[in-house]
Amino acid sequence: MENDRNQLYSAYCDLMLKGADINNASAVLGWDQETYMPPKGAEARGRQLSTLAGLAHEVLTSDKLERLLKELSARTDMTDVQQNNVRLSLDDFEKNKKLPGDFVEELTKQTSECFNAWIEARNKNDFGIFAPSLTKMVGLKRKQAELYGYKAHPYDALADDYEKGITVALLDPIFAGIREQLPPILAKIKAAPQVDDSFFDRHFPKQQQWDFGIEVMKRMGFDFDAGRQDYSEHPFTTSFAPSDVRLTTRVDENNYASMLWSCIHECGHGLYEQGLPGDQYGQPLGQAASLGIHESQSRIWENCIGRGLDFWKFFYPKLQAQFPQQLADITAEAFFKAANKVEPSLVRTEADELTYHFHVMIRYEIEKQLIEGSLEVKDLRNKWNQLYQQYLGVTPPDDKSGVLQDVHWSHGSFGYFPTYTLGSFYAAQFYAQVQKDIPGLLQQVATGDLKEFLQWLREKVHIHGRRYTSEELCERITGQKLDPSFFIRYAVAKYKDVYGI
């Protein structure tokens, strides 16, 4: 009986590994597309990615896999690991089966076309170049929502791909809370003397920025024998296995804030990928819990640790040594305050921790309307600018700093943006817990010792893969479900130190 079980499970694993290998081969091509691929390679690359997506879909929706999953699900002699892998794989199978193979290939091909149109549009600062491809993409995503099926709102079907069980009915109250709770804090900050971050705009040579970023990432624990960092138009992290994780960043020599926290942020994602159980490669227990949890790992490093005063007690002398002329007249405390300056801005990835959530909310409102059909792509630029003025009091002067700033929609990632806010809220709740579990954490951080913090993340989050939903994992770690009040308390405490509010 045990031998029969093991044979069935082995056959299931073989198919899952084959699907994972194809998807990760596709991911290598996607990484190359955004880093090193020559412009003329775009058309062929789109075809290659489409072919691989079709092959992976064929394997992961095959009759053979369905038979194996159903046989294994009915057994009572499975180990805990086997049960969880099969349970989650069956959920994935049933969802994937709803998408015809030709639709998957069409969507993948359109994603490649759309990304290349986005790159051209950014280079020429013209949304009109991107609009036709995006219109096709929105049409395909609406069709995908219908193929998946939904109870209340088509956006629910797409968002579920990134955060299991999340819906408009759950997200709307969260963003309503942001509209209610953040403005009073922002009003107090606005009334306080503004911190000076003008020194960030001094000239910081590219290579020196890069070298310091690498030093910080090594101290965080990123294994460069199992990963690397490169340049791209939009910073991102992708993983082909825990032993091969790729990060990217971008550098502005006249704005130091642009790169450093991007490095820390993406390194947080990379550490999660490197911490997933390698022996579960290709299986659900070898994958991240959700994008919300993934984002919690980048935000806890970037903001809770990387923008904290204790972090800079150790790193600031090293940074000053790297840039002696640029930072000779700047104290560690002044640097810390500048790193946490709050001011409405145009670009999401460079926004402060508070106004950041209005950037996310704007995108959530827009993509929800695009998917439900109450907004069309031709009206997107105007809607974007209107919401920026409404929520942040700023209007983009051009498309590159406005509607073209994010890569996500060119990838077809509708439903992704809310995970950024969810991730920040999970991060604040986890950060409160880790300080209880490691009473001397801040003293460790102040000496550059980040090993115990990383180990805590490994044991509490990384090692579990997809075994738990986001809510289950949060409750397991902190004793309660997601509670946005942790973020509010964290923000009030931090900005009391920065602005004296």
- Residues serving a catalytic function are 266
Residue 228 parent element (H or E): strand 227-231
β 244-249/227-231 pair status: parallel
HSE, CB side, 13 Å, CA atoms: give it for residue 78. Answer: 19
- What's the rounded Cα separation, in Å, for the pair 93 and 111? 22
Distance CA 482, CA 474 (A): 6
- Cβ neighbours for 253, distance < 8 A, ≥ 6 positions apart: 203, 204, 205, 206, 209
Residues 83 and 89: their CA atoms lie apart, in Å, by 10
Q: Order across the sheet with 227-231: list the strands.
A: 227-231, 244-249, 237-241
CA distances (Å), 175 to each of 199, 291, 364, 421, in order? Answer: 34, 18, 9, 9
Q: Which of 213, 248, 415 is nearest to 322 (CA)?
A: 213
Cα separation values, 446 from 76, 211, 313, 427, 437, Å: 51, 21, 5, 20, 17
Distance CA 407, CA 205 (A): 26
Secondary structure (3-state) at 283: coil
Cα 219 off chain centre by: 22
**Side chain identity at residue 413, one-letter code:** S
Of all helices (H) and strands (E), which one includes residue 360?
A: helix 356-372
Place of tokens 């439900």: 372
Q: In whole angstroms, how far apart are CA 365 and each of 182, 217, 291, 293?
A: 18, 34, 19, 22
Structure tokens at 415: 């439903």
